[in-house]
A = this chain, B = another copy of it.
Amino acid sequence: MKQPQVIETVSDLRAVVRDWRSQGLSVAMVPTMGALHDGHVSLMRIALERADRCVVSIFVNPTQFAPTEDLDKYPRQLAADLERLAHAGVQLAFTPTAAEMYPHGFAAKIAIGGPSAGLETDFRPTFFDGVATVVAKLFLQALPDCAIFGEKDYQQLCVVKKLCRDLDIPVEVIGAPTVRDAQGLAMSSRNAYLSPAELAVGRQLNTILRHAASALQLGADPGETLETARLHILEAGFGRVDYVEARESDTLAPWRRDRAGRILAAAWLGTTRLIDNIEVTGI
């Protein structure tokens, strides 16, 4: 099992990619914050089906955490992460420091508008500015042919696609299906925070969203259906529901029954916030 090459600087990253390009090899990127799980591994597999080489970035990006959020306790486990990359056949790990990504005097910010409005932004107002800016930087550092993002963070996927479209970043952004455990819980690095009792509650989120999606597809009233879902999430044992909403699946504009849609939800279990989403087929 071949260990991935590990590099920490943009100039080294560019040198490796330049070398690959000179051999005519195509390149896929999987940006991550580490604490890798089977969901991430599925992205790497797709990357290596799409391209000759895969670079996985591991960077816990401070600019997408609010001061009240879990930046300090966010799980960091580089050795275990590198083992997963080796298993997946990934050739390159890019593990920049915060100083490499944001040198003294750094001041740029990208705001995306469009799909970044509402949902997560109502609760994490600067989150997608941080995501868009760091993803733009990673893409422009590596200039891969394509990049793979999980549908688990569905709004993020839409924001990254819009980022590339609006700013003409020449990277194809590919969404990958959410990986779930046997009981339907979406894989997330933050699941590591959950107690066994919380895990059992968390596993009901996807079931509740699936029921709501079926109801909408069968013609139920959206307002009532989403309110019922919200109550079910609370009854299941979640402490607070940030949102349960139906949106158009590409623009994230409010859902209309004739369009492909997505139900997106965020809810709290103790001090841990879980998000999930599910497709609603247009009628």
Q: Which residues on A are within 8 Å of B, measured CB to CB?
A: 10, 14, 105-114, 132-133, 136-137, 140-141, 143, 162-163, 166-170, 251
Contact = CB atoms under 8 A, between A and B. Distances in A.
A143 B21 CA distance: 16
A168 B10 contact: yes
Nearest to A109: B111
Given A105-B251, A251-B105, A141 B113 contact: no
A68 B112 CA distance: 25
Contacts of A108: 110-113, 132, 162-163, 166-167
Contacts of A163: 108
B136 A167 contact: yes
27 contacts: A14-B170, A105-B114, A105-B251, A106-B166, A107-B112, A107-B113, A107-B114, A107-B166, A108-B110, A108-B111, A108-B112, A108-B162, A108-B163, A108-B166, A108-B167, A109-B110, A109-B111, A110-B110, A110-B111, A110-B167, A111-B111, A133-B167, A137-B167, A137-B168, A140-B140, A140-B167, A140-B168
